[in-house]
Amino acid sequence: MNTSEILRAFRGLRVLVAGDVCLDRWCRYDPREGLPSRETGLPRVGVISTEVTAGAAGTIANNLAALGAGRVAVLGVVGEDGFGWELDRALRDRGIDADLLIRSSEVPTFTYTKLINNATGEEDLPRIDFIHTREISRELESRVVESLERIADDFDVVIVSDQAETAAGGVVTARMREALTTIAKKKIVWVDSRVRAEHFRGVILKPNRDEAEAASRRALGRVDLPALLAYTVARLLFVTDGGEGALVVDERGQTMVAGRAIKKPVDICGAGDSFSAGGAMTLAVTGSGIEAARFGNLVASITIMKKGTGTATPEEVSRRDAESAENFNEHAGD
The domain that contains 60 carries what CATH number? 3.40.1190.20
What is the maximum span of the chain, computed from C-alpha positions, in angstroms?
72
Averaged pLDDT for residues 10-35? 96
> Quick one: which H or E segment has residue 2?
none
Q: Is it the case that residue 2 has pLDDT exceeding 90?
A: yes
Q: Would you give the DSSP letter of residue 40?
A: T
Confidence at residue 332, expressed as pLDDT on a 0 to 100 scale: 40
Instruction: Indicate the pLDDT class of residue 325, thresholds 50, 70 and 90.
Output: low
- Does residue 92 have a pLDDT over 80? yes
Q: For residue 123, how far is the Cα from the chain centroid?
A: 21
Domain membership of residue 250 (yes or no) is yes
Query: Mean pLDDT of all residues in the chain?
Result: 94
**Would you say 246 and 267 are in contact if contact means Cβ atoms under 8 Å apart?**
no
In a domain, residue 38? The reply is no
65 is a domain residue? yes
Band (pLDDT 50/70/90 cuts) for residue 327 is low
Confidence band for 144, pLDDT divided at 50, 70 and 90: very high
Distance (Å, rounded) from C-alpha 264 to C-alpha 160? 30
Q: What is the mean predicted confidence (pLDDT) over 209-236?
A: 98
Whether residue 330 is contained in a domain is answered as: no
- CA angle, residues 227, 56, 214, in degrees to nearest 5: 25
C-beta separation of 249 from 229 below 8 A: yes
With cut-offs at 50, 70 and 90, classify the pLDDT of residue 333: very low
Tell me, yes or no, whether 334 lies in a domain. Answer: no
Q: Is residue 177 part of a domain?
A: yes
Which has the closest alpha carbon to 32: 46, 20, 14, 12?
46
- Enumerate residues 6+ apart whose C-beta is below 8 A from 311: 62, 63, 65, 66, 67, 274, 303
Q: pLDDT at position 264, please?
A: 84
**b (16+ CB within 10 A) / e for 29-43:** beeeeeeeeeeeeee
Buried (b) or exposed (e) across 171-205, using 16+ Cβ within 10 A?
bbbeebbebbeebbeeebbbbbbbbbbbbbebbbb
How many Cβ atoms are within 10 Å of 46's Cβ, its own excluded?
A: 14
**DSSP conformation letters of 124-153:** -S--EEE---SPPPHHHHHHHHHHHHHHGG
Number of domains in the chain: 1
SS3 196: coil
Please compute the mean of the pLDDT values over residues 124-136 and round it to a whole number.
94
> Is residue 148 assigned to a domain?
yes
How far is 327 from 209, CA to CA, in rounded Å?
Answer: 27
Mean pLDDT, rounded, for 177-206: 97
> What is the pTM for the complete model shown?
0.94
User: Which one, of 106, 76, 87, 74, lies nearest residue 24 by Cα?
Assistant: 87
Strand partners, 77: 102
Q: Is residue 209 within 8 Å of residue 272, measured between CB atoms?
A: no
**Domain containing residue 274:** 3-32+45-323
Residue 137 lies in a domain: yes
Span 155-170, average pLDDT = 91
CA distance 233 to 48: 50
Comparing 60-64, 130-134, 138-142, 203-207, the range with the smallest average pLDDT is: 130-134
- Alpha-carbon span 93 to 205, nearest angstrom: 30
